[in-house]
Amino acid sequence: MISEQQPLPSIDLQAMTENGPITLNSDQLFKDKKVVLFAVPGAFTPTCSAAHLPGYVALAEDLKAKGVDDIYCTSVNDVFVMHAWGQASGSPDVKMLADGNGKFAATLGLDMDAQGFNMGNIRSKRYAMIVDNGVVSHLAIDAKGLDQSSAEAVLAKL
């Protein structure tokens, strides 16, 4: 599992543009920036939609005031679902990144088997990290609930 002070691996993710889906490499997404990345088990799921994403939407300006250049949300969902969820959130400040096959989550060692929840065998754990120029400076993983990876918790670490 990735830990603090380690660089993020070079992995492709997808994002939606007005011209359709594009592939972005993590190297380009995190280079020369301070980024908050948070991950959820699934777009449009209860805790993710009611609390996790809305917290980052509400505190986006506060995070940016602390020197954060970008806020990314990722999930093991396809780019079309992530795009629709981003539109439903009403915030252009949180950029949605699709990890459709779960390769990013698995490479980080932050994947989980969610068959017990009827969500498939590869999902992302709920976590948040602060990434400085591609290196993880803070990592918080929630075993249950949302206390470690919430926007409030990450803001307190900046």
| Residues noted as catalytic | 48
Task: Quote the strand ranges of 100-158, DSSP E.
Answer: 111-112, 123-124, 127-132, 135-141
- 8 A C-beta contact, residue 68 and residue 34: yes
Q: Which of 88, 101, 93 is nearest to 73 (CA)?
A: 93
* C-alpha to C-alpha distance for 126 and 114, rounded to whole angstroms: 12
* C-alpha to C-alpha distance for 105 and 123, rounded to whole angstroms: 7
